[in-house]
Amino acid sequence: MIVFCLSLGSGCVSRRLTIRTNPPGALVKLNGKRLGFSPVSTDFTYYGTYEIELVKDGYETETILQKISAPWYQKFPIDFFSDNLSPFQVTNRHEYTWPLRPKKIIPTDDLLNRANQLRSDALIGP
């Protein structure tokens, strides 16, 4: 009976998410919450789809919907045993790396020409 009671407290699954960018140093937001600058890691509780936003000066802001699937030992009904009765701790790690695209800078002359063209088209009408 004592062994059974002790084993109830020993099982556990730790879930860890690591986000990297190329180049590193992008601000990472997970579901709107600021995590820090890449590479960054955080623990999570639930599997599912997470919104990841990557922001870095000089690069396009990226928003990714990343699905994190549960491994076989975290699916019903096996998850009860891996979370509560396992004699050792398991760490389930998920690592993702995204390349950042350099921001496209439009020359001022091209931008002004485009604006003038749109203005002319608006005055002429359909």
Domain boundaries, the chain: 2-124
**Is pTM, for the whole model, over 0.75?**
no
pLDDT in tens, 92-116: 899 999 999 999 888 899 889 999 9
Inter-residue contact 42 to 48 (CB < 8 Å): no
C-alpha span between 97 and 28 (Å, rounded): 12
